Amino acid sequence: MSTIVATLATDRARRPRAALTALLAVAVAVGAPFYFAPFQVFQLTMVLVYAVALAGLNLLVGFGGQISLGHGAFFAAGAYTAAVMLDRYDTGHLATLPVAAAGCFLLGLGFGVPALRLRGLYLALVTLSFAVFLPPLLKRLEPVTGGSMGLTVDKLQPPAWSGLAEDQWMYFVALTVAAVALLLARNLLRSRAGRALLAVRDNESAAEVMGVRLSLHKTLAFAWSALFAGVSGCVYTWVIGYVSPDSFSFVLSITLLAGLVVGGLASLYGPLLGAAFVMYVPSWAQDISDAAPGVVFGLLIIVVMFVAPTGLAGLVGRLRSLAARRPTRTTPAPDRTPESAPDTDATSASESSAPPTPADPAPADAEPVGAPPRTEKE
């Protein structure tokens, strides 16, 4: 009983704290472009752009348990949709976003159908070979895509009323898109479709018995995930103003997956950490040598899989719960002597033992990678 009371108390105590954190985050996010130099603002913008793609990949890999080594292809599809529309039809920037989103949604839907019959390894094979195939295809479709020269289009220009510089305006646009995308991903996971997706990931057979339509939800996961990647690619074109087949080689797909794994699979803010990783680590490591980013990336992926399968995001949660667990072992159980236990200990104890409340994102963060093995290996 007292645990419940304690939970309610911490929940009530946590709400203003959470609101404060959110407010602080918003303040930092809004203030950043006025504080940093234009190049740094550009880098932050790119982090936000990648975060959208990673949020989409997370829906598929982290929450859906399906593997994609070809998400760079959807990213490229979104980027090229925007570039071609701007280049040939001169529709303003804003018009390209819904088209890229819808186009990639359909593309993902189309890809999701064969994906139904492929699981695990085979899906990884097909998506990887798709990612390898795309750049030569883009080069071939020269009349539309500009071939290997690529397309140069206008960057997003700030409207006169805003009084912002180009980099600041693009940052705010990317921030808006990323915020909407992350919120959408969060809400999607709490909807009927999201719960169905988690059920499918954790145990396909059980989910099917419960009445979840496997084919529908697995295909939809692919489609949503492709939509996010497409939107991300579209904003990429707005920010960079240039697309070429070589920017979307299969290395991009692998980098996206690597970023997500390091950031934290099946975590809500893992994509943000992963995107920062994808953006900054290569540029830091590049100073050492051309090959250094790959060495760091590859090593980190393996190490993360060994020691922290929940990625950076999960690491924070794990450390917190580890710190929380320590004192409870030494102090008496809080529900027997709630008064004698120090206040902080009672809070942390209830944090680790309390049943997950639906409004709490932590359980999703703390979940292990992917699904538990579907079928026991003999």
Partner 1 sequence: MSTVTELLQQVVEGVGSGAVYASLALALVLIHRFTGIVNFAQGELAMISTYVAWQLVASGMSFWLALPVTLAVSFAGGMLIERLVIRPVQNAPELTMVIVTVGLFIFVNAMAGLIWSFTVKDFPQPFPDGGIDLAGVRVDWSTLGIIAVVAVVMGLLYLLFQHTSVGLVMRAVACNPASARLSGIRVGRVLMLGWGLAATVGAVSGVLVAPLLFLEPNMMGGVLIYAFAAATLGGFDSPVGAVVGGLLVGVAETLAGAYVDVIGADLKVGVPLVTILAVLLVRPQGLFGRAAVERA
Compare residues 105 and 130 and give the one whose CB is closer to partner 1. Answer: 130
The DSSP 8-state label assigned to residue 243 in this structure reads E
Other CB atoms within a 10 A radius of the CB of residue 80 amount to 29
Residues found near partner 1 in the complex (CB under 8 A): 61, 65, 67, 69, 114, 117-118, 120-122, 124-126, 128-130, 132-133, 136-137, 139-140, 204-205, 250, 254, 257-258, 261, 289-295, 297-302, 305-306, 309, 369-375, 377-378
Compare residues 86 and 131 and give the one whose CB is closer to partner 1. Answer: 131
User: Which residues neighbour 306 within 8 Å (Cβ) at sequence distance 6 or greater?
Assistant: none
- The structure tokens listed for 16 are 């203003």
Minimal distance, residue 3 CB to partner 1, in Å: 32
Distance, CA of 138 to CA of 13 (rounded, Å): 55
Distance, CA of 90 to CA of 232 (rounded, Å): 20
Distance, CA of 276 to CA of 313 (rounded, Å): 12
Compare residues 49 and 266 and give the one whose CB is closer to partner 1. Answer: 266
Residue type, 47: V
Minimal distance, residue 68 CB to partner 1, in Å: 10
Minimal distance, residue 101 CB to partner 1, in Å: 25
Report the SS3 class of residue 271: helix
Compare residues 135 and 334 and give the one whose CB is closer to partner 1. Answer: 135
The DSSP 8-state label assigned to residue 248 in this structure reads G
Compare residues 53 and 126 and give the one whose CB is closer to partner 1. Answer: 126
Minimal distance, residue 17 CB to partner 1, in Å: 34
Distance, CA of 275 to CA of 227 (rounded, Å): 17
Minimal distance, residue 125 CB to partner 1, in Å: 5
